Chains A and B, each alone.
Chain A
Amino acid sequence: MSTIIPIGPYHPLQEEPEFFRLHVEGEKVVHLDIELGYNHRGIEKLAESKSWDQVVFLVERICGICSTSHPAAAINCMEDLGAIVAPERAQYIRAIICELERIHSHLLWVGLAGHFLGYNTVWMWSWKYREIVCDVLEKVTGNRQSYAMFKAGGVRRDLDQDDIPWIMESMDKMKPVVDLFRGAVMDDPVLHARLKGVGCLSAEDAINYAVVGPTARASGIRIDVRKDDPYFAYPWVDFDIVVYEEGDVYSKAMCRIDELYQSVSIIEQCLKKMKPGPIDLNIKELPPGEGIGRAEAPRGEVFHYTLSDGSNFPARYKVRAPSYTNILSNEKAVIGETVADAALILAAVDPCYCCTERLTVIDEENNKSVLGQADLLKLSQAKTETLMKRLSL
């Protein structure tokens, strides 16, 4: 007989409240049900009532952490529709904002993974260093989140040329930080024991579940929209796709940490190559037709589609976000693992699990709560402690 553990749907500090039902037999997870839709705000329908300019602001609010990936896909979509090519300087500014967002998002994930493992120091440290990126974003765009920088045919604000040395300096500060986290993950025997071989997603499953972004790249699938379908300034800069073969939580963590180096390097190259020039084409209207846009969010490929009837509003707007496919892959990754690892594996695809999770174990027979969220977190943290003792640290 299996016991059901409902996780969610009400997770404090979670972007999209998902509901997981873990079916467990003893310690082993045997089945997983996923229910979505608590955060459904009807954005696609709302987009039909917004003008093209407003759509960019609307899709920005799909996800606060990926708050520049959705606008990026949206303007790619509109520029595809109108066959518009934005000025070079605008393309560089867009790439810089996208990469800054990737750094802040990955650092955020590293911190939360640390929290799940019982390493709260990692959480505090990574969020402390994330502030460097937030400061740069605030200086460049005027806001810490939701940057409102993009529009079809250009960007809304120019990057002040006088700020560039300071941004370069901030990026230099990021390098030792990434070294620190990479070292912390690579050298810690406890983390190796906790993360290696846990929550494996094979390359075959990765393809079958159509996972994207770091989740796919950690399973050995070489996909990255920035290389496969270059947009913005990505064709003009030099960077690598980080691929790991194992597909476990450790690979996912390393994949994200290594991507931080690439992002810092891309920003530096963009800042060096950027030349003064126009930033906006002042597009007034878009022609009738269809357009598609893709962008590589920190979590994977964002896809937008639009149908225009030549009016000021989209006739149809369609969004596909990366978490949607990534979350479903949990079904494969979590089965056969222990309950203590479940919270970590569910978080490993980066579905924006922030902070505390409410979990309750319910006995199927008398419908009584037997194991709470705090207990599960304690279980996970206790496992780390036991490992520490066993490895005599």
Chain B
Amino acid sequence: METLLSIIFIYILVDNFVLQRFFGICPFLGVSRKMETAIGMSMAVIFVMTMATLVTWLLYTFVLDRFNLQYLQIVTFILVIASLVQLVETTLRKISPTLYQGLGIFLPLITTNCAIMAVALLAVREEFAFIEAVVFGVAASLGFSLALVIMAGIRERLELANIPDVLQGSAVTLITAGILSLAFQGFRGMLTL
């Protein structure tokens, strides 16, 4: 129980996936312009990341590791993630068209979200047990969502700010992300596994 709680706190606040570990920077910069899209993307990532950790962990432990096929890890994981995204997309379209409309455009983008691949790889590298790996997936995706939503809130206000010409666009977004990351540094060392 303590380990699980620690994992949740560490990967949401202390070792935030976006702001401290630099996973998933592309969607973080790409879809944080509006709050609405940021929330949509967060939902899709929470869903896919949890599923991906679950499936890749089982696959690695019971197939790749058992039959000494560890060198197929990268190929297997990326294929699992790509097909999972496809599966989620098709299922959602059938089961819940409203949710599909909301998440629809974000799902294909997730395949190249390196945070998903990173979670799958790290769950194996850190030698988490099954429950720990799933909790890790949930916590990492919540951390990603937290960073994305905060950033979207800041960027909506930044629209109205008077920014020097040369820093407009991505430059000021990165500097803002740096200051946000600086704030998260405050959690440093609070907890370790």
A and B physically associate: no
Q: Which residues of A contact B (CB under 8 A)?
A: none
